[in-house]
Structure 1
Amino acid sequence: MNPETQDGLERAFPFYVVCDVSQSMWKEGVYKPAPAAEGTSGRTPYDALREAVPDLLWKLEVDTTTSEAAHISIVTFAQDAQTFLPLTRPEEVQDLGELPKGAQTDFAKVFAHLATIIQADCAALEREYALKRPAVFFLTDGDPYVGSARQPDDRWLPERDRLAQLPYEPQIVAFGFGNIRPATLLRMATTTTLRDGTTRSLAFTAEEGTPVSTLVEGLIGTLFVTIGASVSGNGLDVRVPEGMRWLTAS
């Protein structure tokens, strides 16, 4: 595919992969472990992320069609949020280092962080590129939890709404597994219009029966397919990961 648009500008399609690194993701014994080699204790969801995220970036780098337009950022969050990988072309990624580990799950902080960096990133990109709508892939295993209680909706939802209402209209895709409630995922995600004209939330939840670390590994693999399909089609084209289902509002 020709990377240039009709006005002669090269396309830029920003993708943000948001990884929950709270305690439940890395503490052994929280979830049934995925099968492991003899003599090992099994893989946690954090282990799956640690292995699969660099693989995702490598696949994006070597896929020439995708790398022409895709810009990728990795954001991690627990009690705080941080930009683990600033937005960049896949071929420019250097050694990532080790994903951080945290304790709690502060949705307000991560949505506020995303709003700040996406505003700045997109403002910079649109000076040189034909900018596509940014896409946020949010991976989490639990409801927001801060201090000794669940974080109230009225604490984090305004930050989520501020992100969704940026002039660049970021699309938020929520992938949930573990103990997160479907209602939370539906509140997190933005909506999309299907080919038949119906509107649907971009929220996905795990089916029962698959070890969470195995599910996370497959989910990251599906992001490669989704990013490639989106770049080729010039708009977000979400693929449902194996072991997950598309949520509908009741």
Structure 2
Amino acid sequence: MSVTVSERKSYPIYIMLDSSASMRRRLPGAPAPQEEFEQMIPDLIMSLSDSRSLAKAAWISVIAFGDRPELLCPMTSLAEPVQVRSPRDGGHTDYAGALRFLHERIEVDRVAIEAHGAAGNYRTKVARPLVFFITDGAPYAHGEFQRPGEWMPYREKIVAEPVQARIAAIGLHGAHQGTLFAIATGKGRERNAFIATARDEGAGDSLAESVITVIERSIKLSVRTGEMVIDEPRGMRRVHG
């Protein structure tokens, strides 16, 4: 007797958070960016989990990167409790290490998502990953700036077949525009690369809050449409090549 096995599409989502020293720098009357994101990312995950359709389809992982990459939350279905721990304090911003680690995790996570479906007696089709890369600086490690040739090969592996990840690069104050554009994916000069337009002195809305709001909306729209859909966060502008 043949058994019909249903198929579900699962969407792996990665939030990459810079944990270098500059992310812990405070402005008068405002918390440090790292502190804000640490508080908001669990709230983002909880909000996404409240959607029944997203809880069935989406998986999420949080990775910090400073002197070295650090897994703050392993890839977890939004249908299950998601735990995110705080990152270690980093000094530098090792993009090569971060992107290499992400590339390694993508394959490990794909296997885990497929195994989860097999255990539930359904076949899983893993969608192209969605990656949100949040930074406030340029690639710097071991006392010097990293040349593109050190980290771009890992970025190329992530966006090429068979992975074909979609990446949004979100640069806070101090981020390097050309690097953001190089990391992000998109069509032509309209890549998903954004940079803050002005320094927030604590008087206006939080830039981190704006970023998290846009990430939440982007995840919901991207899972629904099958493509990465991301708006310009308030207080930021799109970077063009």
Superposition TM-score tier, normalisation by shorter sequence: 0.7 to 0.9
1:187-198 aligned within 5 A = 187-192=182-187
Q: Percent identity?
A: 28
Q: CA RMSD in A?
A: 2.1
1:1-250 aligned within 5 A = 8-28=6-26, 32-33=27-28, 35=29, 42-126=30-114, 128-192=123-187, 200-211=190-201, 214-249=206-241
- Deviation, 1:61, is 1.1
Q: Distance in 1 between matches of 2:109 and 2:201?
A: 36
Q: Which runs of 5+ in 2 are unaligned?
A: 116-122
Query: Does the CA-based 8 Å contact 2:62-2:84 persist in structure 1?
Result: no
Query: Does the CA-based 8 Å contact 1:122-1:168 persist in structure 2?
Result: no
Q: Which runs of 5+ in 1 are unaligned?
A: 1-6, 36-41, 193-197
Name the amino acid aligned to 1:109.
G
TM-score (norm 2): 0.87
- Aligned with 1:93: secondary structure? coil
Q: Distance in 2 between matches of 1:155 and 1:168?
A: 20
Structure 1, residues 178-234: CA drift from partner, whole Å, max 9, x if none? Answer: 111211111111224xxxxx6621211111143599212220121111111112223
Distance 1:140 1:131, change over 3 A: same
Distance 1:126 1:200, change over 3 A: farther
Number of the residue aligned with 1:3: none
- Deviation, 1:126, is 4.5
Moved more, 207-216 or 9-18: 207-216
Query: Does the CA-based 8 Å contact 2:193-2:238 persist in structure 1?
Result: yes
Count of aligned pairs between the two proteins: 228
- Deviation, 1:242, is 1.0
